[in-house]
Amino acid sequence: MFAIARSELLQIFRNRLVLVTSFIIPVAISAFFIYRHEVFAQLGSLGYIAAIVMFTVGAFGLYTSTVTTLASRRQNLFLKRLRSTAESDAGILAGLVLPATVVAIVQLIGILTVFGVVVGRPDNPLLLVVAVVATVAMMLGLALATAGVTNSPEHAQVTTLPVSLGVIAVASWVGITGTEELARIKRILPGGAATELVLNAWNGGVALSDSLILLAPTFAWVVVAVSFARRMFRWEPRR
């Protein structure tokens, strides 16, 4: 698994498209939100900005690059060749997604740390860590599911748009309007409960037990996405 991950990390730095998608776009967007945090805080709150940063990195840095990577490795038959080795299917997939996952987590740690230095630390850092981990798991699950219906790296630019833009739109909706109205609908949408969890972690004022309940919808999406991926994922090029 680690040999695959090491090879994949080298490929990330050699692929300009993945490099831009994984590094430059998330960092640039996050830097803009942090630079203009006073404006965006008036729309929602500091927790809202943290949630948008989290989903920007999760959507463009982790989700999109993972789908593109898996589609590319399937197209050039690399996935098929890996299955002829002693590595298990789970080990192969873990090795392929590990570099993008580590990069995304490092980015989130760095960006949210800078944000905390600029505006002040979150009310509950541990809860924020839990929210980030849950979101990373959800985006990985959605990436595996999307890769199952993606024919090529070029096709990934289209298939990833609904989820990428969708989770950011949901995060904005929940972050700006809160969950006083339509709470159930907002929480069951992908990213809705995770956004509220970040809001609670950064802004405070909510009991820990009430916040931890929000993990259920997020991990439910992980289960749904993985179940879909098990049915749709292909190891050989799709026709």
Output the tens digit of pLDDT for each of the chain's 239 residues.
777 878 777 777 776 666 676 677 788 888 888 877 777 778 878 999 999 999 999 998 899 989 988 998 888 888 888 888 888 888 889 999 998 899 899 989 998 998 888 888 899 999 999 999 999 999 999 999 999 889 888 888 899 999 999 999 999 999 999 888 898 999 999 999 999 999 999 998 788 888 889 999 989 998 998 898 888 888 888 66
Rounded Cα–Cα distance for residues 123 and 4 (Å): 39
| C-alpha distances in Å from residue 170, one per residue of 44, 48, 82, 164, 212 | 13, 11, 37, 10, 19
Q: How many CB atoms lie within 10 A of CB 184?
A: 10
Say if CB 47 and CB 202 are below 8 A apart.
yes
Rounded to 5 degrees, what angle do the CA atoms 182, 201, 203 make? Answer: 80
Return the residue matching tokens 């630079």.
35
What global pTM score does this model have?
A: 0.90
Rounded Cα–Cα distance for residues 148 and 139 (Å): 14
Helix (H, G, I), strand (E, B) or coil at 41: helix
Residues across the chain: 239
Say if CB 70 and CB 159 are below 8 A apart.
no
Rounded Cα–Cα distance for residues 96 and 91 (Å): 9
For the chain, the domains span: 2-232
